[in-house]
């Protein structure tokens, strides 16, 4: 059994359900007719996930849309919480889940660097020491001093990625964000992730439909199927099984 200190993320018997929204009847007649149908309905997304992700691993969560992989990643960030079970993370964590999450649309890119990096726990002095590197990596040039509401989705991604990789986090969580932007910057991001992958102190968890990227970036893949772990192992082997069922 692995020492707990070697585990970056522990997922223990995690279940997650979401309440389904339904139209409420308004008239007395409708209320009488539907009186027995007003019970809350839930959709179970995750059905007992048990995973240990070790420090220094690069792990891909794969699966079809609706399988629960993005929900699992959000649970790891504590954006949402399990219905049952628990998730333990060890180390400073940063995430790239939604474009512009944590950005204020009326702030400039530069102002948002300070705003966003502070969310990840950096103080003003820390950000001052990194800001030139962040701006340089983003390739936004003079546009860094314009409001981010004027940015394209690709520019958002450049800024978000540049901040996330420069906050010295031990755990980096990424959900499909690298599908946005031009090929040049995608290649640059992949090169940076490969550099981080080589660092035994960095743990990377990605959700991706790009199976080639999974093979390239990750040393482990976990296939989530209908809310459960269907297979966990080497990317090539897991992808082969996944394609047999889902292609």
For residues 55-76, average pLDDT? 94
Query: 11-15, 48-52, 120-124, 146-150 — which is least confidently predicted?
Result: 120-124
Dihedral angle computed from the Cα positions of residues 110, 114, 120 and 125, in that order, rounded to the nearest 10 degrees: 130
For position 26, what pLDDT does the model report?
A: 57
**Per-residue confidence at 210, pLDDT binned at 50, 70, 90?**
confident
Under the banding of pLDDT at 50, 70 and 90, the label for residue 238 is: very high
Res. 38: pLDDT tops 60: no
What was the pLDDT predicted at 179?
67
Say what percent of the chain tops pLDDT 90.
57
Compute the distance between CA of residue 159 and CA of residue 109 in angstroms, rounded to an integer: 7
Pick the closest to residue 156 from 224, 107, 223 (CA basis).
107
Query: pTM, whole model, 2 decimals?
Result: 0.85
């Amino acid at each position: 059994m692995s020492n707990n200190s070697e585990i970056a993320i522990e997922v223990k018997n995690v279940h997650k359900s979401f309440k389904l929204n339904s139209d409420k009847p308004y008239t007395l007649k409708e209320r009488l007719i539907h009186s027995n149908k007003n019970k809350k309905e839930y959709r179970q997304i995750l059905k007992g996930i048990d995973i240990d992700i070790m420090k220094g691993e690069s792990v891909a969560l794969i699966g079809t849309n609706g399988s629960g992989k993005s929900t699992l990643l959000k649970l790891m960030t504590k954006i949402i919480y399990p219905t049952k079970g628990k998730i333990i993370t060890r180390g400073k964590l940063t995430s790239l889940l939604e474009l512009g999450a944590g950005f204020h649309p009326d702030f400039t890119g530069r102002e948002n660097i300070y705003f966003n990096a502070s969310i990840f726990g950096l103080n003003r002095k820390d950000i001052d020491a990194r800001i030139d590197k962040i701006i340089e990596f983003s390739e936004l040039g003079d546009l860094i001093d314009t409001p981010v509401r004027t940015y394209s989705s690709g520019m958002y991604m450049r800024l978000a990625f540049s901040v996330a990789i420069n906050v010295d986090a031990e755990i980096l969580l990424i959900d499909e964000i690298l599908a946005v932007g031009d090929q040049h910057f995608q290649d640059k991001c992949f090169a940076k992730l490969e550099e981080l992958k080589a660092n035994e102190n960095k743990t990377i968890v990605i959700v991706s439909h790009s199976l080639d990227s999974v093979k390239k970036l990750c040393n482990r893949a976990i296939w989530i199927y209908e809310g459960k772990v269907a297979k966990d192992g080497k990317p090539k082997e897991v992808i082969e099984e996944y394609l047999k069922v889902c292609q």
